[in-house]
Amino acid sequence: MQIQLAKGLPAASFAGVYHLHRRTKYPEFMTNALKTTFLLALITGLFLAVGSVLGGQRGMVFAFVLAVVLNFTSYFFSDKIALTMSRAQPVTREQLPRLYAIVERLCGKANLPMPKLYVTPDDSPNAFATGRNPQHASVAVTRGILDLLNDDEMEGVLAHELGHVRNRDILISSVAATLAGAITMLARMAYWAELFGGFGGGGGDSRDRRGGAISALAMLILAPIAAVMIQLAISRSREYGADATGAHLTGNPYALASALAKLDAYSKRIPMAASPSTAHLWIVQPRLDWASLFSTHPPIPKRIERLTNQPADLYINR
């Protein structure tokens, strides 16, 4: 498989990305703040509802405390959790001058503060951005992507990640990861609480106990699926928006299209060991066994076509 950058293509094809950027920039900025608020409220509501059902008033108090802790953690520390789970290590300008030069140039164009830069030890090529706002943003790249992409393609990928920062969707993606974990934790709480009679203990005959165990077991199975579906709903639109913002920032959608084609091809050859709860953060979705059935990213050919207004085959020759 050969990957080629489509040079010399008509400038008119850039119009699609320009109009997509104009269409997504301001709605993304506004709706992401609303989505973040909604997700934080949803975490609280879910915990209160389950706490009330399982433990009455005492259960609600216990659930409220947990919700406050989760909301605080998801807002202030979700980026550190994502970086730790990805085994990312900070890098200095002396260690990676190429990476710093590209990011500094792009931040100057986008009028963004310089994010913290990290590298993960993965050979599979990929990258992600995280943080609660542009002033507390971090960008991480894998060791594999540094070896794979040329400077134009690397600029396209980093512009995409800074597009997430500029669109203010790095917080919502981090909160979504926390919400996914919260739903799974709620399911486990419900399972054990119903098995042993709720937070209040005791109560119910064996028939009620069996019925509760069956419903709790169903929740235990379905909750992770619901968590992945939440991530799916959030991630697909944000990837298109970051593609458009990044391409508009560099003025070269073809470089990002070429990079996406390379990343897709090489990620199939070298699968990434990533957590399902952070899969939606990466620019190309890691291959995650059963979790890959619930794609959190649009198909790469669709992203390339929306970037360039041209068939993806121009960038991927089979």
Q: Which residues are designated catalytic?
A: 161
- Interstrand relation of 116-120 and 137-142 (parallel, antiparallel or unpaired): parallel
94 is annotated as contributing to ligand binding: no
Question: What does the alpha-carbon distance between residue 35 and residue 38 come to, in Å, rounded to a whole number?
Answer: 5
Q: What is the dihedral of CA 6, 108, 164, 240, to 10 degrees?
A: -30
- Which residues neighbour 121 within 8 Å (Cβ) at sequence distance 6 or greater? 87, 89, 142, 143
153 is annotated as contributing to ligand binding: no
19 is annotated as contributing to ligand binding: no
Rounded to a whole number, what is the distance in angstroms from the first to the last CA of the chain?
5
Task: Give me 62's structure tokens.
Answer: 């216990």
Cross-strand bridge partners of residue 131: 137
Cross-strand bridge partners of residue 25: none
Report the binding-site residues for Zn(2+).
160, 164, 239
Report the binding-site residues.
160, 164, 239
